[in-house]
Chains A and B, each alone.
Chain A
Amino acid sequence: MRDSVRFIRQGRVVELKSFGPTETLLDHLRLTERACGTKEGCNEGDCGACTVAVGTHEDGKVVYRPVNACILFVGQLDGKEIVTVEDIAGSGGLHPVQQAMVDHHGSQCGFCTPGIVMSLFALYQDAGRATPPPRAVIDEWLSGNLCRCTGYRPIVEAARTALSAPPDDMFTRSAEATGGVLQFLADAEDVFVGTDQRFFAAPRSVEALAALYERHPDATLVAGATDVGLWITKQFRPVEKVIHLGRVDGLDRIEDVGPAVIIGATATYEAATDALAGIDPDIGAVVRRIGSRQVRASGTIGGNIANGSPIGDTPPMLIALGATLELVSAKANRAVPLEDFFIAYGRQDRQPGEFVAGVLVPKLKAGQVFRAYKISKRFDQDISAVMGAFLFTLADGVITEARIAFGGLAGTPKRAAAVEARLIGVAPGSAAAWSPAMEAFAEDFQPLTDMRASAHYRLETARALLGKALLETAGAPTTRTRVIGQREARQEGAHVGA
């Protein structure tokens, strides 16, 4: 048992023995370290002004990811390297990313700039990136960095310039040494800092987690903290006991088991993207629009399910695919169909001491067509007004089974049972045959009006998405049915994301 957390800061290992279980990395930097280069623009993960890069050791390499320091708890950084905007200029002058930002007039008020620099710094370090990456990749890496002054054009130009050569800076040059230290920090100890009443814990194994959670069923499980962070910074919820899942060995597994893929609970969106996109490119396209690069580096599939949100983006897709949830506690393991996990708004089928271990996602079978659409005011980093996922099984040109699930239309992610029933025997291409299904929407859903959309728009859009899915199933090319996320472009190999 270790009673501290340790991370690398400016080439040295820092060990913290006393810190608040929910103290944010941003507060640690700005208030404790007084390293004020990293800014606070929103304190809720949406603006990117607080972006720092976090280094981890994976497959023999040091990998840097941008994260939002404002909603990350400092304990979550155990075993990692924290790089901030103050750290990247070497003795020889500005970092290539910084220099390009200066040369291209990429800053005006400068308040977003440290975050932008750190997002681009993380992309810069990606050895697999193109030189320079296509615009879509640059946009994807900037999707979590709002700039209100520049209109982004000079920032994109700066990115193109800085990323026109492979990574070569003091971080790549010291990667081996850094990797060594990171490996050393990744010890086998369970971390427990604090008292039985107030603690930050990071168990190392599923068994240790189950035992600890059984002892403290009132503790808050924290995976990426992209939800829990806001409970603290905005809602002032009292959270005294934190069990962080990030160190649990194997909980982040991603495994191809033939007819299905297993996604471990703590697999981040980023880590799971390719496996999910492998089932169908639409899933990849939706996941790449969840939050931002920062949110996807921290947020987990398990968290997206366990939070029970009616507007989470992965549950409708996973439900349509017929996914099964694995739940584990000190007493028992069980599996439930994902759709049954969501009981009602704010209520899930999870017992005290029980946690989500993973989700088993079946792959498409022959004769199946999958479609998913995320509708929001802004394409990137916006919560869906409507999220629709469709799985059609076809035989002889007609639908023999339909699994359809929506987010944003009810208190939980929910299947459209009545709609599904009316689709059996329908030929997707014959629009005249759709009407029973279209009419059935009102049986399945009575959505609410809020700031994202009116009830009317939600219901009408749900219908429109079914129409779109049917048209595409009947063969309409998505170049003619979608303004973004066209499948043809993706299949031609315009691989978005690094």
Chain B
Amino acid sequence: MSALESDPDGLRDDSQEGVFSVVRQPVRHDSAVKHVTGQAIYIDDMREPEGTLHVAPGFCRQIARGRFTAVDLDPVRAFPGVVTVLTAADVPGVNDCSPSIGGDPIFSEGVVEFWGQVVFAVVATTRDAARRAATLARFEVVTETPAITVADARAADIHVLPEYRFGRGDVEAVLADSPKRLDGRMVIGGQEHFYLEGQIAFALPGEDGDMHVHSSTQHPTEVQHLVAKALAVPDAAVTAEVRRMGGGFGGKESQASQWAVIAALAAAKTRRPCKLRLDRDDDMVMTGKRHDDVAEFAVGYDADGRVTATRMDFYARCGYSADLSLGVNDRTMFHADNAYFYPAVRILSQRLKTNTVSNTAFRGFGGPQGVLAAERMMDAIAVETGLDPLEVRKRNIYGPDRDVTPYGMKVEDNVLPEIIAELERTSDYAARRAEVKAFNSRNRILKKGLAFTPLKFGISFTLVHLNQAGALVHVYTDGSVHLNHGGTEMGQGLNTKVAQVVAEEFGLTLDRVKITATTTGKVPNTAPTAASSGTDINGMAAQIACRQIKARLVAFVANEFGTPEDQIAFRDGQVIIGNGSVPFTEVVKKAFIARIQLSSAGYYKTPKITWNRDRAEGRPFLYFAYGAACSEVTIDTMTGEMKVDRVDILHDVGKSLNPAIDIGQIEGGFVQGMGWVTTEELWWDDKGRLRTHAPSTYKIPCASDVPDAFNVALYDSPGNREITIFRSKAVGEPPLMLAASVFSAVFDAVASLKPGVIPPLDAPATPEAIMRAVTAMRRAEV
């Protein structure tokens, strides 16, 4: 397909080749110096206007499921410093902050659906007073038996959303005919985001019922809409703003809203600025996490280890409400193939309702669960066939004539064969496989495992309408540029990348481009910054805005200097006009005098995507991102302790917009994924209380968990096959799933105990989970 054919918006792709001075450079994060000096301003660091009040949410500390028949808030109100207490009765508009189909009350009106559900909020003169007072409410309750686990919910057959399935072929028939077949089941744990900056919002009331909300959110537009809905004011009366977040990872996509709404309700009621910052423990109890799943599969395969058919069922713990569970679980299904071709396939997903916090977006958005199940299938086939696990994987990856996904999209841009070949060489896989075998034959207590896992990840929101973005670019008469777009900065370097695009377009240095806070007042109706799409869509929108301004300037200069338009370019702070040049600043001044508009709003919508969910057909993704990882671990078969010894990664980011930032995303995503499959365990007690609600009990990786031999490289790509911003590829989420290699390496180490037996290893592979698998191996009959 030619570039023009794939260019329905008429966006000419002249960006693939050429000399670039700002894009494709390892430019540092725009806030780096502010980060290291403590000068970067997060919401809690903003100077508080005189009279600012502080808000803390309160909940019923007795039950995970049931009703409260009476609430006594008098002790709360009587606490020194308390100004007022908000309940459902204080919501002038709609008492709901759901991002989707409803069911997320801002304040519960009598029904308790999980331990930690907010019932009221205390507004006080200090945060300390608000927090203390919030613990003093007294409830009379009627307790019901909560459904906590996937098994509970399956037994009770309760769902937040209908089941969904897609696939092709007569799976049962092929399974029955397959030379070999195996069945598997694994538990895949959830994950707490543990953004370092907890949830926070700061609402400032204005005149006429206006509300300005600073919110640490990935989705300012949704915050704006939900605040307006709760306050019963038009969307236009509410502005949501975010300069930066101290991490998001999906946890602030839908679940930042409730805190912004409560802060706004408090500000509307008291007519004073109101700030709500969740304490870490409240944050972990009250906000959703990555869905945990039970995955069950049956797979048929031939003697060469090639899959003939598979049936994969995912049972997801969604928590008490739908939230984003539709999209998340769809994406589990979209990635249940990971990188492998399943000739006959049926994938099913059940979205179970439990009396736990409502699970939500988390980097990968369901994809990681699908990938982990696919990798388990490959590992299990390797055990059964005795083939090297990498060999099984290579035989099953997409290839010519084996290139249609279970949802019917053709894989057109597969670069996995090259990536696998290169990483196999650079990681020295074959030699290390032999060393691992030798080590294991020499050692009785310690066992090593080695695993190599590929990755394919679909890029685009699967909810088609979200694939749109806007940007606003002003050029001032001194030649400085003001940049605004609909994406939000959470550390991923989005603002830096988009500023690089703008600087490149105008031929300016980065310091001429002013990055400004995301606000619904400048760029409206935006998608969340999610699905790895931030740079893809906002970078494009900004480029379009720049090109609109440039087109006006070019026309003006061509006319002024009598130079043909195609001989005018923007470079090195100059406007190149034929053989001569004029400083950009001067051109801009002249243009202003000539009454040329120097501001523009850019708008972009992703082409080609046509997914129709009802019919389960069409194309959900513009393209795929690819990568592969090779990990080596050592386990102690007496205690289950585990150490990651070495990791090698090769990842595809197309033509990188910023190699430093992209490598940062790969490393950070990988380590986050590594935590998910190893030390990060969520644990609820039988009453439905989350007991791992603080960093003291919930363990994300720390520095010593990351091996010194951690080699990350970017695949030398000819550029994204699709027209994306400077032919780059999205990088936010995909690398997280490279951590499947760590989990598979642990599996490999356990599997070495008894060749031919499939270790029943569940995720996360905590010492205890490893010991369970080791013990089962020792008891297993070959």
Interface residues of A (CB under 8 A from B): 30, 34-44, 46-47, 49, 84-86, 89, 94, 97-98, 101-103, 105-114, 117, 135-136, 138-140, 142-143, 145-156, 234, 236, 373, 375-383, 385, 450-454, 457, 460-461, 464-465, 467-468, 471, 480-484
| CA–CA, A101 and B193, complex, Å | 24
Find B703's partner among A152, A464, A465 (CB 8 Å cutoff). Answer: A152
- A460 neighbours in B (Cβ, 8 Å): 771, 775
Does residue B173 face the partner (Cβ distance < 8 Å to A)? no
Task: Give B663-677 interface residues, CB cut-off 8 Å to A.
Answer: 663-664, 667-672
Min CB distance A97 to B, Å, is 8
Task: Count CB-based A-B contacts (< 8 Å).
Answer: 265
Task: Give B711-749 interface residues, CB cut-off 8 Å to A.
Answer: 712
- A482 neighbours in B (Cβ, 8 Å): 446, 636
Find A43's partner among B135, B280, B702, B768 (CB 8 Å cutoff). Answer: B280
Min CB distance A22 to B, Å, is 11
Min CB distance A404 to B, Å, is 16
Say yes or no: B768 contacts A146, CB within 8 Å.
no
Say yes or no: A483 contacts B667, CB within 8 Å.
no
Task: Give B445-463 interface residues, CB cut-off 8 Å to A.
Answer: 445-446
| B271-285 near A? 1/0 per residue, CB < 8 Å | 000000001110000
Say yes or no: B636 contacts A110, CB within 8 Å.
no
Closest to A449 in B: B685
Say yes or no: B196 contacts A151, CB within 8 Å.
no
Find A39's partner among B42, B642, B700 (CB 8 Å cutoff). Answer: B42
| CA–CA, A454 and B772, complex, Å | 11
Say yes or no: A138 contacts B703, CB within 8 Å.
yes
Interface segment among B225-233, B262-270, B590-598, B690-698: the answer is: B690-698
| CA–CA, A468 and B33, complex, Å | 49
Say yes or no: A85 contacts B38, CB within 8 Å.
yes
Closest to A236 in B: B132
Find B493's partner among A108, A377, A382 (CB 8 Å cutoff). Answer: A108
Say yes or no: A113 contacts B36, CB within 8 Å.
yes
User: Beyond A43-B279, A151-B668, A378-B679, is A109–B196 a contact (Cβ under 8 Å)?
Assistant: yes
| B41-54 near A? 1/0 per residue, CB < 8 Å | 11011010000000
Say yes or no: B244 contacts A378, CB within 8 Å.
no
Closest to A97 in B: B36
Say yes or no: B446 contacts A154, CB within 8 Å.
no
Find A142's partner among B131, B244, B490, B703 (CB 8 Å cutoff). Answer: B703
Say yes or no: A467 contacts B36, CB within 8 Å.
no
Say yes or no: B194 contacts A146, CB within 8 Å.
yes
User: Beyond A40-B44, A105-B660, A148-B700, is A451–B767 a contact (Cβ under 8 Å)?
Assistant: no
How many B residues have CB within 8 A of the partner chain? Answer: 89
- B490 neighbours in A (Cβ, 8 Å): 109
Interface residues of B (CB under 8 A from A): 26, 28-29, 31-42, 44-45, 47, 131-132, 135, 193-198, 244-249, 279-281, 443-446, 490-493, 634-636, 638-643, 660-661, 663-664, 667-672, 679, 681, 683, 685, 691-692, 694-697, 699-706, 708, 710, 712, 766-768, 771, 775
Closest to A109 in B: B491
Min CB distance A155 to B, Å, is 7
Say yes or no: B639 contacts A41, CB within 8 Å.
no
Say yes or no: A102 contacts B694, CB within 8 Å.
no
Min CB distance A375 to B, Å, is 6
User: Beyond A98-B37, A108-B493, A380-B704, is A150–B664 a contact (Cβ under 8 Å)?
Assistant: yes
Min CB distance A341 to B, Å, is 25
- B35 neighbours in A (Cβ, 8 Å): 101, 107, 110, 113-114
Say yes or no: A36 contacts B246, CB within 8 Å.
no
Min CB distance B475 to A, Å, is 29
Say yes or no: B39 contacts A483, CB within 8 Å.
no
Find A143's partner among B44, B700, B703 (CB 8 Å cutoff). Answer: B703
Which of A39, A385, A451, A454 has the most chain B CB within a 10 Å cutoff? A451
Find A109's partner among B197, B635, B663 (CB 8 Å cutoff). Answer: B197
Min CB distance A51 to B, Å, is 11
Closest to A134 in B: B708
Closest to B38 in A: A37
| CA–CA, A152 and B664, complex, Å | 9
Closest to B642 in A: A483
A-B contact pairs, 27 of them (CB 8 A): A37-B37, A39-B246, A41-B196, A41-B280, A49-B196, A84-B38, A98-B36, A101-B36, A103-B28, A107-B29, A109-B248, A110-B40, A110-B491, A114-B36, A148-B700, A150-B668, A151-B706, A152-B706, A154-B664, A234-B694, A377-B766, A378-B702, A380-B702, A385-B768, A450-B691, A453-B768, A460-B775
Say yes or no: A44 contacts B280, CB within 8 Å.
yes
Find B244's partner among A38, A40, A110 (CB 8 Å cutoff). Answer: A110
Say yes or no: B639 contacts A452, CB within 8 Å.
no
| CA–CA, A151 and B244, complex, Å | 20
User: Beyond A44-B695, A452-B697, A481-B445, is A151–B671 a contact (Cβ under 8 Å)?
Assistant: yes
| CA–CA, A69 and B493, complex, Å | 29
Find B31's partner among A110, A149, A380, A481 (CB 8 Å cutoff). Answer: A110
User: Beyond A85-B38, A482-B636, A483-B641, is A105–B32 a contact (Cβ under 8 Å)?
Assistant: yes
- A380 neighbours in B (Cβ, 8 Å): 702-705
- B41 neighbours in A (Cβ, 8 Å): 36
User: Beyond A110-B31, A142-B703, is A383–B196 a contact (Cβ under 8 Å)?
Assistant: no
Closest to B194 in A: A148
| CA–CA, A402 and B296, complex, Å | 48
| CA–CA, A343 and B734, complex, Å | 53
- B244 neighbours in A (Cβ, 8 Å): 109-110
Say yes or no: B703 contacts A155, CB within 8 Å.
yes
- A375 neighbours in B (Cβ, 8 Å): 639, 641, 767
User: Beyond A108-B668, A148-B196, A151-B671, is A377–B681 a contact (Cβ under 8 Å)?
Assistant: yes
Say yes or no: B639 contacts A465, CB within 8 Å.
yes
- A36 neighbours in B (Cβ, 8 Å): 38, 41, 44-45
- B196 neighbours in A (Cβ, 8 Å): 39, 41, 47, 49, 109, 111-112, 146-149
| CA–CA, A451 and B636, complex, Å | 21
